[in-house]
Amino acid sequence: MILISDVIRAKRDGRELSPAEIAAFIDGYTSGAVPDYQASALLMAIVWRGMGDAELAAWTDAMLRSGEVIDLSDVPGYKVDKHSTGGVGDKVSLPLAPLAAEAGLRVPMISGRGLGHTGGTLDKLEAIPGFRTDLSVARFRELVDTLNVGLIGQTAEIAPADKKLYALRDVTATVECIPLIASSIMSKKLAEGIDGLVLDIKTGSGAFMARRADALELAKTMVAIGRAAGRDVVARITDMSQPIGRWVGNALEVIESVEVLQGRGPADLRALTIELTAEMLVLAGSDATLDAGRARAARILDSGAALERFERVVEAQGGDPRALTDRSRLPGFRSRLDVAAAADGFVGEMDCAEIGRASLMIGAGRARKEDAIDPGVGIEVHARVGDRVEAGAPLFTLCYNEDREVVAAARRLRAAVTIVDEQAPVPALFGERLG
């Protein structure tokens, strides 16, 4: 019999845990046999001592097997997903999923909600009237089989150990630990029944991994976990030192995503959508090179076929597909407030996380999981790093329904931008590629 106190002691003293010890802890904590105080002690020991590759692979495997592992083996074709570590204005999943599906890939996508300064894919999708993300696993499988893509949230049956451990980490100062972050993400992704996974690891002021070195370590860790589980995995480091696209806010980001699916949209959002889809196509063997994948993804976007695919997905998941091209059918805002530049010059830096927090203040995000959001509100971003601005010209526009936090949100936005005398270098959108 394995005693949990012995497991805690072993990790405290720096010993690598065996698969049997890890399974005993994960199974016991999921069932309730292991109390929170013992789990907290082990989590803190992991924060201090870290985890080896084999140990982390066993930990992730035990977490994903704590619940249902979706079996898509009877669905023909290559099953591949994309996961982003999140940021401000990151709506890439919305155009990417139907684009990859239209290219012939199977895309079983299980996404999360926004929390803190980052937005969530589920919140954006649910801004479409009627759209349901709380589908059964059986319906999810049916959508992947018939439409090549399903877009849902984590069910109670998928990786329940992660759900319990994440809640505990949130209140025990053990969130910022790369092995625990990596295993949390990968346990859910590997439970989707995928063959391959493309990871978009954000770095910069708006990312959880603000330091590039940390982003690289997280990427390497997640790629190693995926490979140990027998999956094809590639990771890209991408910039989150400023918001993606022109809009921050749920319905507003739906509109911007549709623009990309119409062959238009902001250059950075279109580039990210095409690049990450190309990575998926190469993983699947559908295209031999990234250049070929990029060209195919661009052709599909420009043809409008991916938008038609998205309309079918929206309708199949209970939403109103007319809302994709008729913005009057989406939630809206009543008032606008410009936030102007205080001086002439160039945009030098943006504190991207502060922009996300300003959107939270007007109702576009949530500070706690139980908070409600206003899907119609958000922020329009007028200037980007390196742009020339004049005093009095708008840097941002707050688009809101309730007045109470608007002035404070405007102050936060103004403080988030540094104006300099000489043009600042524009951050590179794409960084390292691992895998």
| In a shared domain, residues 157 and 125 | yes
Per-residue pLDDT at 366 exceeds 90: no
Indicate the number of domains in the chain. 3
Check: CB of residue 201 under 8 Å from CB of residue 212. no
Q: How far out from the chain centre does Cα 222 lie?
A: 14
Structural domain harbouring 140: 80-324
What's this model's pTM, rounded to 2 decimal places? 0.94
| In a shared domain, residues 99 and 40 | no
Q: What is the CA radius of gyration of the chain?
A: 22
Lowest average pLDDT, out of 157-161, 273-277, 397-401, goes to: 157-161
Give the pLDDT of residue 119.
73
Give the pLDDT of residue 80.
98
User: Average pLDDT, whole number, for the chain?
Assistant: 94
Q: E strand or H helix at 397, and its extent? A: strand 394-400
| In a shared domain, residues 30 and 169 | no
Please provide the size of the chain in residues: 435
Closest by Cα among 47, 54, 49, 44 to 22: 54
| In a shared domain, residues 202 and 309 | yes
**DSSP string for 401-429:** S--TTHHHHHHHHHHTEEEESSPPPPPPS
- Average the pLDDT over 25-40 and give the result: 96
Domain boundary among 293, 324, 355: 324
* Residue whose token pair is 């625990």: 180
| In a shared domain, residues 208 and 345 | no
SS3 35: coil
Lowest average pLDDT, out of 165-174, 185-194, 295-304, 375-384, goes to: 165-174
Catalytic positions are: 83, 162, 169, 184, 188
Strand ranges inside 158-203, DSSP E: 196-203
What confidence tier does 115 reach under pLDDT thresholds 50, 70, 90?
A: low
Alpha helices in 264-391 (DSSP H): 267-284, 290-303, 305-316, 352-361
Phi, psi of 218 (to 5 degrees): -65, -45
| In a shared domain, residues 252 and 381 | no
**Amino acid identity for residue 98 in this structure:** P
| In a shared domain, residues 133 and 220 | yes
| In a shared domain, residues 174 and 313 | yes
| In a shared domain, residues 342 and 256 | no
Q: E strand or H helix at 329, and its extent? A: none
Is residue 62 included in any domain, yes or no?
no
Is residue 74 included in any domain, yes or no?
no
